[in-house]
Homo-oligomer: A and B are copies of this chain.
Amino acid sequence: MRRFNRFYTRHIGVLTDRYLGQSRPLGEARLLYEIGSGTTDLRELRGRLDLDSGYLTRLLRGLGDDRLVEVTPDPADARARRATLTAAGRREVAEMNRRATGVADDLLSGLAEAQRGELVAALGRAERLLRLGAVRVEQADPAAPAARRCLTAYANELRDRFPEGFADDDLVDPAQAAVFLVAHESGTPVGCAAVRPLDARTGELRHLWVHADARGIGLGRRLLAETERHAADKGLTRLRLGTHEALGEAVALYRSAGYRATKPYGDTAHTHHWFTKRISP
């Protein structure tokens, strides 16, 4: 892993830094890139690139002098300002993209077709695993803002996916949760899971949710495993759960994680499949 990092920064990183920094300093180039096609608040740019506000102003003025960027007041808030690429700015970004593609094409040109596919697959696999590894999964207060945001997003998604709709008050009462986990990816919450106690030995898994941007990296499975571990630590020996037929990928996940179909045990609203699994610490 360290070997790869040294290799990568040494060989590929240098290449890409060079293409990006070719026409202008890296800071300006990254900023141009980040403004992108649309119009972006300075506040957001500052957050995304982690820039000092004074520094950002100066960078933008530099780009503005070259007529690549225009900074205009935010119509909704006269304190705030927004940055937009001019036509010349968009051309510059396109040129940067062309160069980046050139570097990549150059590397790929030495590989046979099958190897290119392999490379793309290996990089994709590595990216997903690195992302999954970088996610922090932690016990959280279900009433905390990050947890609320997850539950709201979860409820909104169910509202979209369930033909019959979904109401916020179908969420479990936070105070009832025996376990509540929130997953964070570089600071932003991207998933959650809760366990509500049914009796002294049995819990009900609820609200297992993964942000759309974080799907496919194995986070659902990881949340499930960590939830089981926490539940077992709390003395529970069995988890039950019910799920909606519209959530096919969830059903598949539960099956492959060792959950077995069982008969309904509680409220049947929104629920078509019932599962249970014995757990141990």
- What separation, in Å, do the CA atoms of A133 and B120 have in the docked complex? 12
Q: Does A231 contact B (CB under 8 A)?
A: no
Which single residue of chain B is at the shortest CB-CB distance from A129?
A: B119
Contact of A13 among B9, B101, B120, B186 (CB under 8 A): B9
CB distance from A225 to the nearest CB of B (A): 8
Q: Does A266 contact B (CB under 8 A)?
A: no
Residues of B within 8 A of A12 (CB): 5, 130
Cβ contact within 8 Å between A4 and B123: yes
Identical copies in the complex? 2
**Knowing A5-B12, A16-B5 touch, does A119 contact B101 (C-beta < 8 A)?**
no
Contact of A115 among B7, B129, B134 (CB under 8 A): B129
Say whether chain A's binding surface is mostly helix, strand, loop, or mixed. Answer: helix
Q: Does A122 contact B (CB under 8 A)?
A: yes
Cβ contact within 8 Å between B111 and A122: no
Q: How would residues 1 to 29 of chain A score, 1 for a CB under 8 Å from any chain B CB and 0 otherwise?
A: 11111011101110010000000000000
CB distance from A188 to the nearest CB of B (A): 13
Residues of B within 8 A of A13 (CB): 9, 13
CB distance from A179 to the nearest CB of B (A): 18
Contact of A107 among B109, B134, B137 (CB under 8 A): B134
CB distance from A191 to the nearest CB of B (A): 12
**Knowing A111-B129, A122-B129, A129-B111 touch, does A8 contact B11 (C-beta < 8 A)?**
no
Cβ contact within 8 Å between B129 and A118: yes
CB distance from A115 to the nearest CB of B (A): 6
Q: How would residues 133 to 164 of chain A score, 1 for a CB under 8 Å from any chain B CB and 0 otherwise?
A: 11111000000000000000000000000000
Provide a sorted-by-A list of 11 A–B residue pairs whose CB atoms are within 8 angstroms: A1-B107, A1-B119, A4-B123, A4-B127, A7-B127, A7-B131, A107-B133, A107-B134, A110-B132, A110-B222, A119-B125
